[in-house]
Amino acid sequence: MSGSCLLLCWLKWGQIHLWRDGAGGVRFTGEKPRIVVTTDVNGTTTPDNTFAELVRTDGLYDEMATLMRGYTTGQCRFSEALPQMRQLAGRVDRQRLESYASTMPLYAGVMETLEELTRSENLDAKLALSTTGFAGLMALLNKLRHNSSLGVAASPVLIELLREEEESCLMRPITDEEEKTKVIEDLVRLHGPSKSLVFHIGDTMGDFPGIRHAAARGGIGVAFRPNAALRTSIAGLSKDYRSRICEILFPSDEKPDYRKVGDVIKEAVWTRLRIQF
């Protein structure tokens, strides 16, 4: 990964007990350093347009895909598209929702990377799905695919199809792209990581506010296979901001691999704390 992706800094933690391992890193035996990671879903952890897939059997795939394309390329705000998207999803029932959540394809490395973060012995990593995707689907995805280990912030659609215990992961509704910045702030207030250990991962203009906000906080915004509109917006930021944004690109003949996101986080943690997770 290019060194320009990283901002070098020293971190000061409170009462932290550590010992040095054989590789020259350290392990923590007391309070572990905290990091916050928020990630988009559509196009970031999955190749699917989850909105459109949910209404494919209703013959509404193209109509839903057109709405998503509008706000992910910056032609409109998500808040403008959401009412019609909610209406198109009106026939989705619990059976369809659960079936899709159980079988939705994920990019290579997604499960491995998220599990490695949540199970780290050296870090206290707080992770959340921060997405414009429907909250009903994302909460079920969290339960069925991620063992209910993640927080979920998503658009307030299909929540009525969830069971009470499945709703417990829901953090806040997202009705506009800018609200992804509030998800980051919610987690920072709750868990108190250093400002340089905050990450947001996304792929379109729906994630530009989150990516920019992570960088503004001194953390890292990760543009995973970014679309043209997102790359253009990133290029328009100041050099200081761009130094804290990593663009992960894949040639047309290479399959996207989310482990590269994990590599960015690992390098950032090593650079700042000299620990491995």
**Model confidence at 3, in pLDDT bands (50, 70, 90)?**
very low
| Cα 44 to Cα 215: distance, rounded to the nearest angstrom | 18
**Model confidence at 195, in pLDDT bands (50, 70, 90)?**
low
25-67 per-position pLDDT tens digit: 545 456 789 999 999 999 999 999 999 999 999 999 999 999 9
Q: Which residues lie closer than 8 Å to 66 by C-beta, 6 or more apart?
A: none
**Model confidence at 273, in pLDDT bands (50, 70, 90)?**
confident
Residue among 211, 41, 250 at smallest CA distance from 142: 41
136-187 per-position pLDDT tens digit: 999 999 999 999 999 999 999 999 999 999 999 999 999 999 999 999 999 9
Residue among 48, 225, 197, 223 at smallest CA distance from 127: 197
Over range 250-257, report the average pLDDT.
96
pLDDT score, position 32: 87
Instruction: Say if CB 233 and CB 218 are below 8 A apart.
Output: no
Looking at every residue in the chain, the average pLDDT score rounds to 90
| This model's pTM is above 0.85 | yes
pLDDT score, position 184: 97
Residue 116, token pair as written in the block:
């490695």
**Model confidence at 16, in pLDDT bands (50, 70, 90)?**
very low
Over range 199-214, report the average pLDDT.
98
